[in-house]
Amino acid sequence: KDKVVVITGASSGIGAATTQVLADAGAHVVIGARRTARLKTLADKFATGQVLYQATDVTDKASVQSLVDLAHTKFGHIDVLYNNAGLMPISEISEFKVDEWERMIDVNIKGVLYGIAAALPYMIQQKSGQIITTDSVAGHVVHPGTAVYAGTKWAIQAIMDGLRQEQVANHIRTTMISPGAVNTELYTTITNPETKARIEKDEKEHGLSAEAVAKAVAFAIDQPEEVGINEILMRPISQQV
Ligand code: NJP
């Protein structure tokens, strides 16, 4: 209830919905993203000091460290780090959108590693904590056009399970939240107009609500300390693969 939770990518979609669900239940939430006006609007919905926000770019290691440090300074401990920030500018490899590959690697992989590097020392000291990341159905299956995005999400599967195994003795839990289509702004990062329109239509018509995903995050957090929910894979029932 009164857990301290740090969330990246909280300015829209799943991160914003999770902030809402957890803060409604009484958690202290420290949120980061680049669009601070959106973070402020979200934080202002709650009692002063319950939801704190700070401008955060997860491609900048020091920026992520500063967000995590803010939570520790204010509350004295960190129960949960939720590495949620992500991008999905999908395209076929033969389009050679190298800049977009690099951005996905920087945000979806390195951003998660920076979060782990920032929070894990505190959690090792506490001998407790939970690191959650938004993975994806794309961390399990690949289609033409999703190779690099899926590659970033497959990479996170390896990193998170390795982390889980390494941290057993410190009682640190790891969780991947792996949704199929979700109705968020993620499609806006796609630069190919046809692909963007197709994914936008699909997410709006068939996607899970961000709140449904947020409730899965809350479920994983609310488990007794000895229960590790390592992954929640969830699809809209209309989604085949
Ligand atoms: O998308 P969206 P989602 N530094 O676009 C932030 C995964 N997922 O909620 O910085 C810091 O509404 C951005 O903030 P801002 C997906 O891979 C989704 O769907 O202000 N933050 C915003 O808050 C991702 O890992 C679907 O622009 C950065 C947030 O990320 C996660 O869900 C399916 C940042 C993105 O919010 C959340 O995405 C699936 C940076 N450098 C997995 N760059 C789906 N929607 O269908 C971006 O399987 N952000």
CA distances from 146 to 97, 164, 192, 239 (A): 12, 27, 13, 16
Tell me which residue has its CA closest to atom 32 in ligand 1: 134
Q: Which atom of ligand 1 is nearest to the CA of 133?
A: 25
Q: How confident is the model at residue 173 (pLDDT cuts 50, 70, 90)?
A: very high
- State if residue 58 touches ligand 1 by the CB under 6 angstroms criterion: yes
From ligand 1's centre to the CA of 10, what distance in Å? Answer: 8
Percent of the chain with pLDDT over 70: 100
From ligand 1's centre to the CA of 231, what distance in Å? Answer: 18
> What's the pLDDT score for residue 2?
85
163 in any annotated domain:
yes
159 in any annotated domain:
yes
239 in any annotated domain:
no
- As a whole number of angstroms, the distance between CA 112 and CA 135 comes to 10
Give 73-128 pLDDT, tens digit per residue: 999 999 999 999 999 999 999 999 999 999 999 999 999 999 999 999 999 999 99
- State if residue 183 touches ligand 1 by the CB under 6 angstroms criterion: no
From ligand 1's centre to the CA of 9, what distance in Å? Answer: 6
Q: Is 149 a catalytic residue?
A: yes
Tell me which residue has its CA closest to atom 39 in ligand 1: 136
> What's the pLDDT score for residue 14?
99
Q: Which atom of ligand 1 is nearest to the CA of 59?
A: 41
Q: What is the DSSP annotation of 69-114?
A: HHHHHHHS--SEEEE---------GGG--HHHHHHHIIIIIIHHHH
For the segment 35-40, the average pLDDT, to the nearest whole number, is: 98
From ligand 1's centre to the CA of 154, what distance in Å? Answer: 17
For the segment 225-241, the average pLDDT, to the nearest whole number, is: 97
As for how many domains the chain has, the answer is: 1
> What's the pLDDT score for residue 229?
98
Nearest of 76, 59, 78, 60 to residue 7 by alpha carbon: 78
Tell me which residue has its CA closest to atom 9 in ligand 1: 13
Structural domain boundaries, residue 165: 4-234
141 in any annotated domain:
yes
192 in any annotated domain:
yes
Nearest of 111, 109, 98 to residue 191 by alpha carbon: 98
| pLDDT reading at 1 higher than 80 | no
For the segment 175-189, the average pLDDT, to the nearest whole number, is: 98
150 in any annotated domain:
yes
- State if residue 217 touches ligand 1 by the CB under 6 angstroms criterion: no
Q: Which atom of ligand 1 is nearest to the CA of 208?
A: 46
Percent of the chain with pLDDT over 90: 99
Average pLDDT, the chain: 98
- State if residue 151 touches ligand 1 by the CB under 6 angstroms criterion: no
Q: Which of 53, 82, 149, 187 is catalytic?
A: 149
Task: Classify 173 as helix, strand or coil.
Answer: strand
- Output the CA torsion sign for 138, 225, 53, 13: positive
For the segment 135-160, the average pLDDT, to the nearest whole number, is: 98
39 in any annotated domain:
yes
Report the CATH number at residue 34. Answer: 3.40.50.720
From ligand 1's centre to the CA of 169, what distance in Å? Answer: 32
> What's the pLDDT score for residue 88?
98
